[in-house]
Structures are given as C-alpha cells and as structure tokens.
Amino acid sequence: MKKVLLVVSMMLALAIGVGGCATTSDLEAVEAREKAIAAKADQAALDAEEAKMAADEAVLKANQAVERAEEAEKRANERERIAEEKERLAEEKAKEAELVFQKSMKK
C-alpha cells in the first residue's frame, strides 16, 4: 500500500512538474512579445527625440523673433527721439521767425 501511494505521489509530482514547465512555443511567444515591446519602446524613444528636436527648433525661432522685435523697438525709439528733436528744432525756428516778424512789424 505504501508502495502504491509512493508511485501515485511520484506520478502526481511528475505530472505537476511537466505541466508547470513552459513549452518551447510558450518561450517563443514570450520572446516575440518582448521583441514587440522593445520595438515599441525604441519607436517611442525616436518619437520623443523628434519631438524634442522640433521643440528646440521652435524655441530657437521664438528667440530669433524676440531679437527681431527688440531691434525693431530700438529703431522705433530712435526714430521717435529724432522726430522729437526735429519737432523741438522746428518750434525754436518758428519762435525765431515769429520774433523776426514781430520786429519787422514794429518798424
């Protein structure tokens, strides 16, 4: 009886051992999934790098636009300063002309 119980136990253990092991097709399926995941990860890394490059290019263009705007503002301020100076000179000349006119009217 003990011998039969031992044989049954051994058969059960063998069945569990064989059934619990992965087959070649199981291993191949796992490897295929691993390769697919690795490919997706590689593609995601490439996409992220492309997005970073595009963002860097956009930042560069934005900085260039800011520089152009600042230069335009400087030129506009310089033109405004020149216009104000010309206006001041014109007012002075107008006052001088008015004084000359007043002197000529007194004679």
Hunting for tokens 């970073």 — which residue is that?
A: 52
Residue 76 is part of which domain span?
29-106
Query: According to the 3-state scheme, what is the secondary structure of 75-104?
Result: HHHHHHHHHHHHHHHHHHHHHHHHHHHHHH
* Tally of structural domains, the chain: 1
Question: Do the domain assignments include residue 79?
Answer: yes
pLDDT tens for residues 81-97? Answer: 999 999 999 999 999 99
pLDDT tens for residues 4-62? Answer: 777 777 777 766 665 566 678 888 999 999 999 999 999 999 999 999 999 999 999 99
Question: Do the domain assignments include residue 8?
Answer: no
Q: Say if residue 2's pLDDT is above 90.
A: no
Q: What is the pTM of this model?
A: 0.53
Question: Do the domain assignments include residue 67?
Answer: yes
Question: Do the domain assignments include residue 23?
Answer: no
Helix (H/G/I), strand (E/B), else coil: 22: coil
Question: Do the domain assignments include residue 17?
Answer: no
Question: Do the domain assignments include residue 36?
Answer: yes
